[in-house]
Amino acid sequence: MGCCGSAERPKREWKPLEDRSCTDLPWFLLFTLFLVGMCGICGFTIATGGAARLVFGYDSYGNTCGQRNEPIEGVRLSGLDHTDRKFVFFLDPCNIDIIQRKIKSMALCVSQCPTEELATYYDLKRFAMINGSELCSYELPGHKYPQLPERFEKCPKLPVPESKALPVFNRCTPVDISCYAKFAEAVVTFVSDNSMLNRLIAGVAASKEIIVGLCLLALGGTSVLWWLYIDYRMTMNETMTKDLRETEEPNDGMKTPKDHAQGLLIYAVSATVFTGILLLLMLFMRKRVALTIALFHVAGKVFIHLPLLALQPFCTFLALSLFWVYWIMVLLFLGTTGNPEKNEDTGLVEFRLTGALQYMTWYHAVGLIWISEFILACQQMTVAGAVVTYYFTRDKTKLPVTPILSSVLRLVRYHLGTVAKGSFIITLVKIPRLILMYIHNQLKGKENACARCMLKTCICCLWCLEKCLNYLNQNAYAATAINSTSFCNSARDAFMILVENALRVATINTIGDFVLFLGKILIMTCTAFAGVLALNYQRDYTEWVLPLIIVCLFAFLVAHCFLSIFEIVVDVLFLCFAIDTKYNNGTPGREFYMDKALMEFVENSRRSMAMEERGRSKRACPKEEVELTEVKTMAPGTSSA
């Protein structure tokens, strides 16, 4: 299970798609055992009642609502029969502890949530008498609520808001969400933007063009912004002139159009500066961009022959979403699992994991990282397998009917251990970085400058190491897809190939990443311009920045998800191209596998090298001709003598 041994091994003979065998089987067994442990945690929470307490709810005395309970030693009012009390009611539902992420209020099991606002204790008494649902602590009789001195501590805070039960979790939730303003404000702001859906669709639909479209869009978009600014200024001037004719009193409403015009001016100037920088970069990098044209051209052909590659982000997102939902559900189960303990400060019962059981939360947290990385690695291996099949199939008409499905089947049958090992290495680097980030956030404002600098340095170094390992893992998966070798052998082979082509790697990755970044910027700017055009005709819309930022972030995320697949395809193609050029030379028996576009690139490179050699030889020729002339002039003189 170690990574790489020191024993010398024979030279690698690359035989693409010829042999296929299981790789890293011990790591597959280890990952299977880890998954069994994750499922065991879920089973433990269900068996010990944590799942039932989360779904049905429990009161502050440890009783689960909707069922008969066993008494808890040392806790009064425990062991009650709550068969008819199926809903959890909080005496003060608006008392929220944001840091601990819970409601700091006594909870009771009731038979019915309050269907109207109850302003007095007489209303509480009337509700209890009519509906049989007592909203004060169990030891207080409902018909004596207004006279009892304990009513201020053991009855709900007045006025009691109207509540409705949640669909599944049976918690009485106030209908008026004003007390949850801190949580609801962001959601309300997002939902209240009527044009949000249209702009999101525009951002997704704009993800087709890359470089040329971006340049044209930047030029055209900049002109549109300046036109909007001039139009707005003219409209504002006409409005102000008309207002001044009608009244001489100052109008505070004139400030809003000025703010709109100033915002448009800022957008126009920013777009102009960005356009200038973009054109300068394209001008100075035009020769190097030509080096990646062939590779990107072949990547486009890959997507034409393998259209299901475009569905990979959806499949990965679906798998991650399902796992994250499961993980959050089990985490909530863990929050209500354990031994009941009485809080000495509040007198309420809380369930906590003690002893060795408390490490289940850490195990569950590691599972979040490892399994998430495993799912992402499966996507990389699937894409790599499909691209390798495409590249090393000479006759493209003989490609499998579904190369993506064939790649998935090969992954499941042979290479799950390799993916598990690669994702575990990323997990080992990510966990320390996350721990350091947590420490840095906890000590924010308390540590000295030296400690803060050291923490940030360590976090940055671990982040760089994680990115490098991600890139190496991706190439290792491609090498495994080619030769069906173990993770360490594949990583070593891929690393040697990359080192031998270091200049090409640096050039193609730099220019390729820049081009893909332009594609992401294209999608984001398309969405931003659509938002500006939509908001421009809403003259009374006072805040433009927040909706545009939300839309642009969403558009950038969508672009990143789809173009990351294109980036993986380009990287795998480059590795295949490097292996092809190293072990083949185009002679009979050693023909190239590469596409015509890459073949033209190789031929152009050979011609350039030949021209450089002829140039060097021509520069050396004059010296040889001078020496030969001297010899010829001396020869006749010698003979005459």
**How far apart, in Å, are the Cα atoms of 459 and each of 138, 362, 464?**
52, 21, 9
Instruction: Return the structure tokens found at 246.
Output: 């009608």
Distance, CA of 157 to CA of 144 (rounded, Å): 17
451-499 per-position pLDDT tens digit? 788 888 898 999 999 999 998 999 999 999 888 889 999 999 889 988 8
Averaged over 1-12, what is the pLDDT?
46
Distance, CA of 573 to CA of 593 (rounded, Å): 11
Chain mean pLDDT for the chain = 74
When mean pLDDT is compared across 74-78, 194-198, 271-275, 329-333, the lowest value belongs to 194-198
**pLDDT: which is higher, 93 or 225:** 93
Single pTM value for the model:
0.72
pLDDT in the model for residue 251 = 47
Averaged over 631-638, what is the pLDDT?
43
pLDDT in the model for residue 106 = 82
Distance, CA of 210 to CA of 559 (rounded, Å): 11
Q: Is the pLDDT of residue 355 over 90?
A: no
Q: Is the pLDDT of residue 382 over 50?
A: yes
pLDDT in the model for residue 35 = 95
Which range of 170-179, 247-256, 263-272 scores highest in mean pLDDT? It is: 170-179
Residue with tokens 């004596």: 144
530-573 per-position pLDDT tens digit? 766 666 655 444 455 666 677 777 777 777 778 888 888 888 88
**pLDDT: which is higher, 323 or 229:** 323
437-447 per-position pLDDT tens digit? 888 887 776 76
pLDDT in the model for residue 510 = 67
pLDDT classification of 20: cutoffs 50, 70, 90: confident
pLDDT in the model for residue 32 = 95
pLDDT in the model for residue 191 = 34
Sign of CA dihedral 369, 372, 374, 380: negative
572-588 per-position pLDDT tens digit? 888 888 888 888 777 78
pLDDT in the model for residue 323 = 95
22-47 per-position pLDDT tens digit? 889 999 999 999 999 999 999 998 88
**pLDDT: which is higher, 507 or 349:** 349
pLDDT classification of 420: cutoffs 50, 70, 90: very high
**Alpha helices in 537-595, H assignment, sequence order:** 545-583
Which range of 21-25, 211-215, 232-236, 259-263 scores highest in mean pLDDT? It is: 21-25
255-305 per-position pLDDT tens digit? 445 555 565 566 667 667 766 666 666 566 555 555 566 777 788 788 888
Distance, CA of 39 to CA of 33 (rounded, Å): 10
Beta strand 107-110 pairing with 163-165: unpaired
When mean pLDDT is compared across 3-17, 79-93, 201-215, 517-531, the lowest value belongs to 201-215
Which range of 207-211, 352-356, 496-500, 505-509 scores highest in mean pLDDT? It is: 496-500
**pLDDT: which is higher, 502 or 371:** 371
pLDDT in the model for residue 290 = 55
Averaged over 18-25, what is the pLDDT?
82
Q: Is the pLDDT of residue 97 over 70?
A: no
**pLDDT: which is higher, 451 or 223:** 451
pLDDT in the model for residue 15 = 61
pLDDT classification of 422: cutoffs 50, 70, 90: very high
Which range of 127-131, 291-295, 529-533, 596-600 scores highest in mean pLDDT? It is: 127-131
Report DSSP letters for 286-346, one per residue: HHHHHHHHHHHHHHHHHHHH-GGGGGHHHHHHHHHHHHHHHHHHHHHHHHT-SEEEE-TTT
The answer to whether residues 79 and 70 touch, using CB atoms and an 8 Å cutoff, is yes
Q: Is the pLDDT of residue 628 over 50?
A: no
Averaged over 221-228, what is the pLDDT?
49
Task: List the Cα angle 603/606/612 in 5-degree steps.
Answer: 145
pLDDT classification of 185: cutoffs 50, 70, 90: very low
pLDDT classification of 417: cutoffs 50, 70, 90: very high
B/e letters for 330-358, b = 16+ CB within 10 Å, e = fewer, are bebbbbbbbebbbeeeeebbbbebeeebe
pLDDT in the model for residue 469 = 92
pLDDT cut 90: percent of the chain above it = 15
Q: Is the pLDDT of residue 520 over 70?
A: yes
